[in-house]
Structure 1
Amino acid sequence: MTFLNKVHWALAPDRCALLLHDLQPHYLAGVAGRDRVIVNAGSIARQCVSHGVPVFASQVPGARETRERGLLCEMWGRGPAPASAALDPELALADHEVRLLPKRSYSAFYGSDLDVMLRRLGRDSLIIAGVYTSIGCYLSAADAFMRDIRPFIVSDASADFDQADHAAGLATAARTCARIVTTAQVSECLGDAARRPRSHRIDVC
């Protein structure tokens, strides 16, 4: 699957962060290509950790009352159960390796401190992997773009309800707000960078 990128931004490890978008069991259960996403997103995340690239994981908290979901409840139902996992355990990431980012709507920026944290960390590029390509991943990329943060969506580390929705999401992002890359391209970029001392501290407050 190839896309005509309108931009050819360089991916610099010392300027980027990784967003694992909604990789919760609740959302992964219904996607096409779940296993591929788990393998590729997990691989990128572990490589980011090794090179000192901050890793964030957006999560939709389980709602105890329907009003907590707002219009999302009318569109999608109650969402994850209150006690559901914040990150799929098959990603094999330790708690100290990833910063969980609770959110209440499609974009990972909406109602969160992601923008502030990225700027305090000196990061102006965001690698996005996760679900759903045409909804949360795309809208997070568009939100990043509108904040002058360069978004990179990893085509084979993201997925949607079906292949058609996945392809449509990538095509729209490539045309409007993001550069589409592959896991191999991200790995090559990170592999070319000097390995930094392991530090998982991303507390920017």
Structure 2
Amino acid sequence: MAKPSPLKAMQAYEAVKQEVLSGRLAPGEWIDVNAMASALAISITTVRLALYKLAGEELVEGHPRQGFFMRPLTESALQDLFAVREALQLIAIRFAQIGNSAALREAICQNAANPVAAIDGLFRDIAVFSGHDELSQWIERAGNRLAFLRENGRRLLPDLRPDQEAMAALWIKGDLQSLEAHLLRFGQTLRQHIPEISAQLRTKRHSGSVAS
């Protein structure tokens, strides 16, 4: 079989990565390589190569004779991820360059159809405004580990729209001190729901659907 060109291999990798981060696969769920290859119209070998690369990025896990699985999100892993992301986000806020225009910051906050995804996007953009590429990469990495929660948060979490709107307003205003305080309260809210989230994720993994 001919080896795909570097450009096609990169395009295939990005397509597989988007599928992994789509939220359609639950943490711990087995990845059907054949079905993914068919859905993306690429070869099984190309999908496997992309998944090996994603395993190196700790987004999936490969197991001999079993195939690839989404990385599990245990209760302790959620605790750690929320704590790490909160700490990184606080650093980003403290480095944020609020000299950037309020109009630009407001544009970042417009897409609020999914409050969980909107908050995640806000966090990523604040990291970009911090001017620290490595910090942005770590925040994006933590967000990617929570991709399933980002896409299914409306069913796994209480209504986060008030938090999303409040933090977006503080960011647009440039009130970083109040934004820090709200972020800490938001973190407490998330941590209170970790046992429920873990139970829902187990339900999804075993039944194939998130409980309503």
TM over 0.5: no
Identify, as 1 or 2, the structure richer in strand: 1
TM-score interval, smaller chain: under 0.3
- TM-score normalised according to structure 1 size: 0.27
Identify, as 1 or 2, the structure richer in helix: 2
Larger Rg: 2
